[in-house]
């Protein structure tokens, strides 16, 4: 009885919900609603269900049984001809052959996005592409994506990652902040002004990352040809752990340890002159069997010959490598090498021989020490004697040195304090920076730029066993004239004086060969300009990050200002972004030659066109233009003005960049204050670092064009 009452009330609810919107003109040749359901429908409720299942907003009935669907109705006007009774309920009319009864289905949002797939895979991101809904039911205003971890090697629960893309024509975005080696369910739904669609899905994996760095193996015993170690158990948060490797490193060798670097076997390493090799390999499942490992026992282990050790030049160091492998993706992690030694057990018959050898060795050490001390004393005396002569007569050809005090100032760089420079300036600079071992430095032989002093390449530096992305300035000493050397040294000194700062792309170090100087500087993986332009084609840009990024750049400029360093390349192209969206200001000193060649007039302060002298209020002006660049999503400043001279003339006549649609008044007032005619009235960087305390609204429209021909030489 209760079930009958429930069914009765449900039927009454459906009937009550199917109130006709009205009767409208319609024929089978020109139907008011365009989509005909290819089945016989007996009631308005059944037609509503059919159309809602197809994501249409309206349904309609003609001729008592023909069901039509659409998102708009009434294009031919109202009618009073809906007189054909419905088949299931003759008391209800279902249109006629020239009219249609229209009903609302209750559908608000669009149909789901189509053909969702992954276009680009990285360790911490997935690029998602899709096609728009075929039934938008209005204008699409945004897409919302969610990445939910399904399978992972992480030892902790991974939270879902949400991403939102604004714009009707967006069709791709990159979801950042994902975990390596993880299977994700990517859902996406579209939204119009009335509601949201059902989600569409795709499932895919991020690229695997390197395993966790293993501990150094423990030496248990040694003999003349072997070293017995205990291998620590490995783990990986970034993908499955596949294999263990045992590493042998000859004395005096510093091996590379990047996550994409593998070693050769002992034979090939010997042929190629490498001082390191893999001596054994085993699967993770065999760890218990190989936990105690005798290096040099002469066996084949996992396809590698475990060659007896050669200790003539000292005891080799032993390490462990872990491999994570999925298909063609391979990542490695290397342990530190063994540092302790274990006493070699020698037979009693050799004791006397060893003691005699030790005595002779100690005598030789003492004699060599005395000779070394005498040599040092003689060197100091000679150096003191000839120092004055050297200060007066330094040859032009001496490698990268300066003659006498120099006070000329390159107005594109650092304004030095009024102190005389030492003659051997290059040696002074070298003492302040890390001298990178040549085998720690790798770079693409094809240059990306040709700077003032040489070519610029992209590469990596091994720092603390971690590869760091850098720009490498390759400077040929033999090709530089003396005046160019002096200018190069001044710009290098700017980077040294700038030191390290959280939001500054700093000098990593230099590397010397007999005829070439390599200067390595931090190079973030992406530039702010490229991220802004990518947002125009649908990639997600965290608009709420704009003011934080601006405040961080202001902090970096404040740091440079405190050191009397003037940055003359402030624009979106001189700001790098790390993977966690932290900005890194580039372009000070010699690092500016790694940047694109920008026509800088559109960022130049009004007073700097006629007066070539640069000053910090001019940097503040450029910072205001950078702020405008971010809110315009990479738009070109003064895109309606073709020539640099047109920009200068417009600024002189009082023209300034206009307020963008989504920029609140307080933020535009900050921009305008940066462009005041009187430099003294412009804000300071102490004030601009508080930009992130202001509030902003989402950026819903991009109105300013990007014209690269006006920005780049």
Considering the domain architecture, whether residues 143 and 186 belong to the same structural domain is answered as yes
CA distance 224 to 233: 27
The residue-averaged pLDDT of 197-218 equals 93
pLDDT of amino acid 357: 66
For helices 616-631 and 528-536, angle between their N-to-C axes, nearest 10 degrees? 30
Q: Do 192 and 223 belong to one domain?
A: no
Same domain (yes/no): 625, 541: yes
pLDDT band with cut points at 50, 70 and 90 for residue 359: confident
Residue 404, pLDDT above cutoff 50: no
Burial class (CB within 10 angstroms; exposed 0-12, middle 13-18, buried 19+) of 568: buried
| pLDDT over 60 at 407, yes or no | no
Structural domain ending residue among the three candidates 522, 554, 580? 522
Q: What's the rounded Cα separation, in Å, for the pair 192 and 137? A: 7
Among the listed ranges 57-71, 138-152, 364-378, 512-526, which one has the minimum average pLDDT value? 364-378
Q: β-strands 292-295, 276-283: how paired?
A: unpaired
pTM: 0.50
Mean predicted confidence (pLDDT) in 426-436: 71
Q: How far apart are CA 593 and CA 573, in angstroms?
A: 12
pLDDT for 180 beyond 70 = yes
User: Which pLDDT score is estimated for 18?
Assistant: 62
Whole-number pLDDT of residue 356: 62
Residue 413 lies in a domain: no
Domain-located, residue 347: no
540 pLDDT above the threshold of 50: yes
In this structure, of 332-341, 488-497, 654-663, the range with the lowest mean pLDDT score is: 332-341
Report residue 270: phi and psi, to 5°: -65, -40
Q: Which domain holds residue 163?
A: 114-205
Are both 430 and 513 inside the same structural domain?
A: yes
Residue 551, SS3?
A: helix
The SS3 call for residue 332 is: strand
Looking at the structure, tell me whether residues 46 and 151 fall in a common domain: no
CA distance 281 to 301: 6
Each residue of 112-140: b (16+ CB within 10 Å) or e? bbeebebeeeebbbbbbbbebbebbbbeb
Residue 575 clears pLDDT 50, i.e. is over it: yes
Residue 373 lies in a domain: no
Of the chain, the percentage scoring pLDDT greater than 90 comes to 49
- Each residue of 166-179: pLDDT tens digit? 877 788 888 888 99
* Residue 283 parent element (H or E): strand 276-283
The total domain count for the chain is: 5
571 within 8 A of 530, measured Cβ to Cβ: no
Are 515 and 620 in the same domain?
Answer: no
- Domain boundary (317, 334, 351) is at 334
Taken in order 592, 595, 596, 601, the sign of the CA dihedral is negative
In a domain, 362, yes or no: no
Q: What is the pLDDT of residue 372?
A: 80
Q: For residues 670 and 674, what is the distance between their CA atoms, to the nearest angstrom? A: 7
Q: Which of 413-427, 506-520, 646-660 has the highest mean pLDDT?
A: 646-660
Q: Mark whether 539 and 632 lie in a shared domain.
A: yes
Mean per-residue pLDDT for 692-699? 80
If you search the block for the tokens 């996992």, which residue do you land on? 302
Q: Are 201 and 312 within one domain?
A: no
| The token pair that represents 276 in the structure block | 């390191």
pLDDT at 12: 37
Identify whether 239 is part of a domain.
yes
Give first-to-last CA distance, the chain, whole Å.
84
Q: Considering the domain boundaries, does residue 411 fall inside one?
A: no
Using 50, 70 and 90 to split pLDDT, how confident is the model at 351?
very low
| Helix, strand and coil in the chain, % to nearest 5 | 30, 25, 45
Q: Residue 319 in contact with residue 276, Cβ under 8 Å? A: no
| Residue 670: other Cβ atoms inside 10 A | 21
CA–CA distance from 559 to each of 68, 584, 585, 603 (Å)? Answer: 68, 13, 11, 21
pLDDT (tens digit, 9 = 90+) per residue, 186-202?
Answer: 999 999 989 999 999 99
Do residues 531 and 676 share a domain?
A: yes
- My answer on whether 513 and 532 are in the same domain is no
Supply the pLDDT for residue 380: 67
Cα–Cα distance measured from residue 429 to residue 650, given in angstroms and rounded to the nearest whole number: 44
- Confirm if 403 and 426 have CB atoms less than 8 A apart: no
End-of-domain residue from the set 312, 334, 356: 334
CB environment 434-473: b (16+ within 10 A), e (fewer)? eebeeebbbbeeebebebebbbbbbbbbbeeeebebbbbb
Query: Within the chain, how many helices (H) and strands (E) appear?
Result: 14, 30
Mean pLDDT throughout 693-713?
A: 83
Quick: pLDDT tens for 285-302.
999 999 999 999 999 999
Nearest to 475 by CA among 486, 462, 488: 488
Task: Assign 52 a pLDDT band (cuts: 50, 70, 90).
Answer: very high
Q: Is residue 383 part of a domain?
A: no
Q: What is the CATH number of the domain that holds 479?
A: 3.30.200.20
In the sheet that holds 243-249, the strands lie side by side as: 276-283, 243-249, 317-326, 329-334
Q: What is the pLDDT of residue 667?
A: 92
Asked if the model's pLDDT at residue 535 lies above 90, the reply is no
d(CA 444, CA 460): 9
Question: Helical H runs in 411-469?
Answer: 425-430
Q: From CA 530, how far away is CA 342, in angstroms rounded? A: 55
Indicate whether 352 belongs to any domain.
Answer: no
| CA 125/CA 131 separation, integer angstroms | 20
Among 7-11, 112-116, 359-363, which range has the highest average pLDDT? 112-116
**Statement: residue 17 has pLDDT above 50:** no
From residue 662, alpha-carbon distances to 226, 547, 631, 697 in Å are 71, 13, 8, 7
Q: How far is CA 211 from the centre of its chain?
A: 20
pLDDT at 670 over 90: yes
Mean pLDDT estimate for the chain? 84
- Mean pLDDT on 440-447: 87
Find the Cα–Cα–Cα–Cα dihedral 674, 676, 682, 683, rounded to 10°.
-40
pLDDT for 242: 94
Residue 627 predicted with pLDDT over 90: yes
Same-domain status, 165 and 256? no
pLDDT score at 493: 86
Any alpha helices (H) in 474-545, and if so which ranges?
Answer: 482-498, 528-536
User: What is the pLDDT confidence band of residue 216, given thresholds at 50, 70 and 90?
Assistant: very high
The tokens describing 86, both together, are: 């419905």
- Is there a single domain that holds both residue 608 and residue 677? yes
In this model, does residue 340 exceed pLDDT 60?
Answer: no
* pLDDT for residue 7: 38
pLDDT at 488 over 90: no
């Amino acid at each position: 009885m209760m079930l009958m009452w429930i069914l009765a009330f449900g039927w009454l609810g459906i009937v009550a919900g199917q109130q006709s919107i009205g009767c409208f003109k319609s024929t089978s040749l020109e139907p008011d609603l365009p989509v005909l359901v290819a089945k016989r429908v007996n009631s308005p409720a059944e037609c509503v269900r059919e159309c809602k299942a197809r994501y249409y907003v309206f349904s309609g009935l003609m001729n008592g049984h023909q069901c039509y669907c659409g998102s708009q109705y009434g294009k031919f006007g109202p009618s009073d001809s809906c007189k054909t009774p419905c088949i299931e309920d003759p008391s209800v009319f279902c249109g006629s052959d020239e009219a249609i009864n229209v009903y609302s289905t209750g559908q608000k949002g669009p149909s789901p996005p189509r053909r969702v797939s992954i276009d680009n895979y990285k360790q911490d991101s997935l690029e998602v592409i899709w096609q728009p809904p075929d039934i938008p039911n209005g204008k699409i205003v945004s897409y919302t994506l969610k990445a939910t971890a399904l399978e992972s090697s992480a030892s902790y629960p991974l939270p879902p990652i949400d991403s939102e893309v604004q714009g009707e024509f967006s069709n791709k975005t990159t979801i950042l902040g994902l975990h390596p080696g993880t299977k994700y369910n990517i859902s996406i739904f579209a939204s119009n002004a009335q509601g949201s669609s059902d989600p569409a899905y795709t499932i895919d994996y991020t690229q695997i990352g390197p395993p966790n760095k293993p501990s150094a193996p423990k030496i248990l015993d040694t003999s003349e040809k072997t070293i017995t170690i205990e291998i620590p158990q490995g783990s990986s948060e970034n993908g499955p752990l596949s294999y263990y490797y045992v590493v042998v490193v000859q004395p005096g060798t510093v091996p590379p340890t990047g996550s994409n670097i593998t070693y050769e076997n002992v034979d090939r390493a010997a042929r190629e002159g490498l001082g390191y090799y893999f001596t054994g390999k085993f699967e993770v499942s065999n760890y218990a069997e190989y936990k105690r490992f005798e290096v040099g026992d002469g066996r084949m282990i996992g396809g590698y010959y475990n060659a007896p050790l050669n200790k003539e030049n000292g005891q080799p160091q032993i390490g462990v490598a872990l491999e994570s492998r999925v298909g063609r993706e391979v990542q490695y992690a290397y342990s530190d090498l063994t540092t302790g030694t274990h006493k070699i057990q020698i037979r009693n018959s050799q004791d006397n021989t060893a003691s005699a050898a030790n005595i002779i060795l100690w005598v030789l050490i003492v004699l060599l020490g005395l000779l070394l001390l005498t040599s040092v004393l003689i060197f100091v005396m000679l150096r003191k004697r000839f120092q004055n002569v050297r200060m007066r007569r330094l040859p032009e050809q001496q490698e990268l040195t300066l003659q006498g005090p120099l006070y000329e100032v390159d107005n594109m760089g650092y304004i030095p304090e009024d102190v005389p420079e030492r003659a051997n300036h290059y040696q002074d600079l070298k003492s302040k920076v890390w001298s990178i071992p040549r085998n720690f430095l790798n770079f693409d032989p094809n240059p990306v730029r040709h700077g003032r002093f040489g070519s610029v390449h992209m590469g990596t530096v091994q720092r603390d066993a971690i590869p760091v992305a850098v720009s490498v300035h390759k400077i040929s000493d033999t090709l530089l004239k003396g005046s160019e050397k002096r200018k190069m040294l001044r710009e290098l000194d700017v980077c040294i004086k700038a030191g390290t700062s959280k939001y500054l792309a700093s000098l990593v170090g230099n590397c010397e060969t007999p005829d070439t100087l390599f200067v390595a500087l931090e190079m973030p993986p992406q530039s702010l300009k490229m991220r802004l332009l990518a947002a125009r084609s649908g990639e997600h840009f965290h608009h709420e990050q704009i003011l934080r990024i601006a405040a961080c750049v202001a902090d970096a400029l404040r740091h440079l200002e405190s050191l009397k360093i003037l940055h003359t390349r402030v624009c979106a192209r001189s700001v790098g972004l790390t993977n966690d969206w932290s900005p890194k200001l580039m372009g000070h000193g010699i690092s500016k030659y790694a940047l694109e060649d920008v026509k800088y007039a559109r960022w130049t302060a009004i007073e700097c066109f006629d007066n070539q002298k640069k000053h910090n209020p001019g940097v503040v002006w450029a910072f205001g233009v950078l702020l405008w660049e971010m809110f315009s999503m990479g738009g070109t400043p003064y895109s309606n003005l073709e020539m640099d001279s047109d920009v200068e003339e417009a600024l002189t006549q009082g023209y300034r960049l206009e307020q963008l649609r989504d920029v609140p008044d307080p933020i535009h007032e900050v921009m305008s204050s940066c462009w005041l005619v009187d430099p003294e009235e412009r804000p300071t960087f102490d004030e601009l670092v508080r930009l992130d305390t202001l509030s902003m609204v989402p950026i819903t429209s991009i109105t300013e064009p990007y014209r690269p021909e006006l920005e780049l030489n």
